[in-house]
A and B are shown apart, each in its own frame.
Chain A
Amino acid sequence: MFWVFNNKKKNRDIDPLARRLEQKREEYLDQLKDKHKELVDWADEKGISPEELVQKGARGMAAGVAAGAVILSSGLSQVGGLEPARNNQSEINVESSVKARKDISGTIKKLLGRVGFADERKLTRELSKTLKMDVKEELNGIKLNTNYGVIGYESHLSRYPGDNIGSHLETSEGKINFGHASMAGGPGAWGYLAPSQKALKARDIEREKYYLVVQTFLSPNWGSPQVKNWFRHRKMVVVNPENGAVVVGAIEDAGPEPSTGSNFGGSPEVMEALGFSSGGRHVLMYFIDDPKDQIPLGPYGI
């Protein structure tokens, strides 16, 4: 056996190169830490090392990397020129990037099979443990009319006055996957996310992209402006019990009308991430207690 291993094809010894690069890596890291104490302080606050910023940040961002790369590449073509092939390369990377994120759908399906839907307190406790976030069926004394029901496939929301489908889908990935979804005639129940395109912030874009619709008006707590405002931007976790897919979204609209037969709504991005190409399917939806706003919106992976 030993002989076999030793007779594996011996490639060129790259240890000197690896050592040189490791040394360079340390030099760059030291420079970064020396010149930017704020990074070290920020990482300290988060309880991570500066090295982990790169590694863990990568994991958190993996699912959307290519979308961002496409945005950057389109920007490059405006300011400096970039070969079109990079777009294709970036789009090809979507799949590998998504795969790089640990898929938890199997774990979620097993959890749902074991716990069932009847005991919501137990279910949210188990989901909290698995998803490493505080999942609640009731938060700050406020509940929805139901946490299990039918979700509708919603249109894109207008984020600011004059927003249209062209300005809406900045990425070619977005155009391919979500361009078929129409644009709502106006904003959500709380008005536009931004007063103008110029004022639109990254957070607004994320909130519309992964927006959720809930029947706020059927909540047992409904009836005051405070409760209405409480719902706005509230983060929720959506679970597709059929395939175990999990998405974190933000409440940005009220509905659907009870006559539609749906209990919730999801943006095209939410629905596709859950594995739905149309509405009318059952999901579980629970609040997320995230007072420091640390849990990112979008498809969930560990």
Chain B
Amino acid sequence: MNILAEYFIKKENIVKELKHLDVNQNETDRILKLSEEIGTFKLLQIILERLEEEDKKLFLEHFYSGTPEAVTMFLREKIENVETILKEQSALLEQEILNDISKLKE
């Protein structure tokens, strides 16, 4: 799991919601994996929108084969308040997914 999915995509509320619906572990894992992938694509988009052209390739290199420390240092250097931005966007995404889950109850 990548650093974006690991840290920013909060899974606790999704798991809790799925438990209420009596969803088994395999299906929960399937939904979590999809949530992580959606979150990563979304956050990558947000990051790339905020990076200068010459930094985008560097970031991708770090993200692909660097360490979390390298990714963190790089993003902090290049994007002001990066954690706050990513956290806010992740919260919106989480709410979207929770809304989708709640539709199952209907």
Contact = CB atoms under 8 A, between A and B. Distances in A.
B84 A68 contact: no
A115 to B, nearest CB: 28
Given A12-B23, A24-B38, A57-B64, A18 B69 contact: no
Given A53-B63, A72-B83, A58 B5 contact: yes
A253 B86 CA distance: 38
B44 A60 contact: no
Interface stretch (A30-38, A175-183, A227-235): A30-38
Interface stretch (A73-81, A217-225, A279-287): A73-81
A71 interface: yes
A237 to B, nearest CB: 16
B15 interface: no
Contacts of B81: 79-80
A238 B103 CA distance: 53
A256 to B, nearest CB: 27
Contacts of A60: 64-66
A58 B72 contact: no
Contacts of B67: 61, 64, 67-68, 206, 296-298
Interface residues of A, number: 61
B69 A65 contact: no
B20 to A, nearest CB: 10
Contacts of A201: 73
Q: Is the interface on chain B under 10, 10 to 19, 20 to 34, or 35 or more residues?
A: 35 or more
A12 B6 contact: no
Given A21-B35, A61-B66, A11 B53 contact: no
Contact of B100 (A20, A39, A66, A171): A20
B34 A202 contact: no
B64 to A, nearest CB: 4
A115 B56 CA distance: 44
B2 A80 contact: no
A72 B31 contact: no
Contact of B87 (A65, A80, A170): A80
List 7 tightest A-B contacts by C-beta distance, closest first: A68-B68, A202-B70, A28-B41, A80-B84, A69-B7, A202-B73, A21-B34
A289 to B, nearest CB: 17
Contacts of B27: 11, 14, 18
30 contacts: A16-B103, A16-B104, A21-B34, A21-B35, A28-B45, A29-B41, A36-B48, A38-B48, A38-B60, A39-B44, A39-B60, A53-B44, A53-B63, A56-B64, A58-B5, A60-B66, A61-B71, A65-B6, A65-B68, A66-B68, A68-B69, A72-B3, A82-B87, A97-B1, A202-B62, A205-B69, A206-B69, A206-B70, A296-B66, A297-B67
